[in-house]
């Protein structure tokens, strides 16, 4: 199976299948929740997961470039490694918009219902918070050697998605897991992207702090790892 096929499977196929299985045709799918319904919350969560996989894998492709000596070549050009990595982050954000749009199209033919403004808000928030997963992918790509980065991210994003409440609502988990979740990279992002559905009054400051802290840590890690990668 080609890398492109695997990318399509995990960024579009898997989130779409999980939404169709758990978000549609269920007894709870049409239950109203805030400014939408339960199916809409599942849709947004699955779009977010597809985004996490898409951007992290795109960012991790830098690992292959590192083993080929491409980063050292970039380091010698006027572009520089930092600008090159920044450009990769931007490219990852554009990639994720395609993944989100494809998952959102399913809402037109299924049980998901959101107010028009909520659709726009959740779409933009999922796109914006993708910077976290793009940064995570870049960091893993710089630290882990070669294509092993893809394996690390494949299992890692699934575990983080579970702990962040993307797959299962945190209030259905054991208390210790609920506490641990608040310190994971995507917990705050998950709370943020679903706020337009549940209502902005449910947004907590600690969710924003989680997003900000992890973004700063990941960007600092990228800066340090990129310097180490080009040092010889």
Contact criterion met (CB below 8 Å) for 194 and 125: no
| Cβ neighbour number for residue 27 with a 10 Å cutoff | 7
**pLDDT given for residue 6 in this prediction:** 58
**pLDDT given for residue 231 in this prediction:** 56
Query: What is the SS3 assignment for 32?
Result: strand
pLDDT of the chain along its 232 residues, tens only? 445 455 556 666 777 788 888 888 888 888 999 899 999 999 999 889 888 888 888 777 776 676 667 767 776 777 676 777 777 667 767 777 877 888 888 777 888 899 999 999 999 999 888 889 888 988 888 888 777 888 888 889 989 999 998 988 888 888 899 999 999 999 999 999 999 999 998 889 999 999 999 999 999 998 888 777 555 5
User: d(Cα 19, Cα 127) in Å, to the nearest integer?
Assistant: 18
**pLDDT given for residue 160 in this prediction:** 92
User: d(Cα 157, Cα 152) in Å, to the nearest integer?
Assistant: 8
**pLDDT given for residue 121 in this prediction:** 95
10 Å CB burial of residue 197 (0-12, 13-18, 19+) is: buried
**pLDDT given for residue 218 in this prediction:** 93
**pLDDT given for residue 125 in this prediction:** 94
Structure tokens at 141: 């790509």
**pLDDT given for residue 30 in this prediction:** 87
**pLDDT given for residue 118 in this prediction:** 94
Closest CA to 210 of 160, 152, 169, 159: 160
């Amino acid at each position: 199976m080609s890398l492109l096929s695997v990318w399509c499977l995990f960024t579009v196929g898997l989130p779409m299948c999980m939404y169709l299985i758990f978000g549609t045709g269920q007894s709870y799918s049409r239950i109203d929740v805030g400014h939408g319904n339960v199916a809409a919350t599942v849709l947004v969560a699955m779009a977010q997961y597809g985004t996490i996989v898409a951007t992290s894998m795109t960012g991790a492709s830098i690992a292959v470039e590192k083993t080929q000596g491409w980063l050292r070549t970039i380091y010698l050009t006027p572009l520089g490694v930092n600008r090159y990595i920044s450009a990769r982050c931007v490219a990852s954000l554009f990639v994720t918009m395609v993944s989100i749009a494809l998952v959102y199209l399913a809402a037109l033919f299924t049980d998901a219902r959101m107010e028009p403004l909520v659709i726009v808000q959740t779409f933009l928030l999922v796109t914006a918070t993708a910077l976290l997963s793009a940064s995570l992918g870049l960091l893993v790509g710089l630290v882990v050697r070669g294509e092993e980065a893809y394996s690390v991210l494949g299992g890692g994003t699934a575990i983080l998605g579970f702990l962040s409440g993307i797959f299962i609502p945190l209030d259905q988990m054991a208390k210790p897991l609920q506490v641990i979740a608040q310190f994971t990279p995507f917990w705050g992002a998950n709370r943020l992207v679903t706020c337009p559905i549940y209502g902005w009054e449910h947004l907590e400051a600690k969710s924003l702090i989680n997003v900000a802290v992890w973004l700063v840590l990941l960007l600092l890690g990228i800066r340090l790892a990129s310097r180490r990668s080009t040092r010889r």
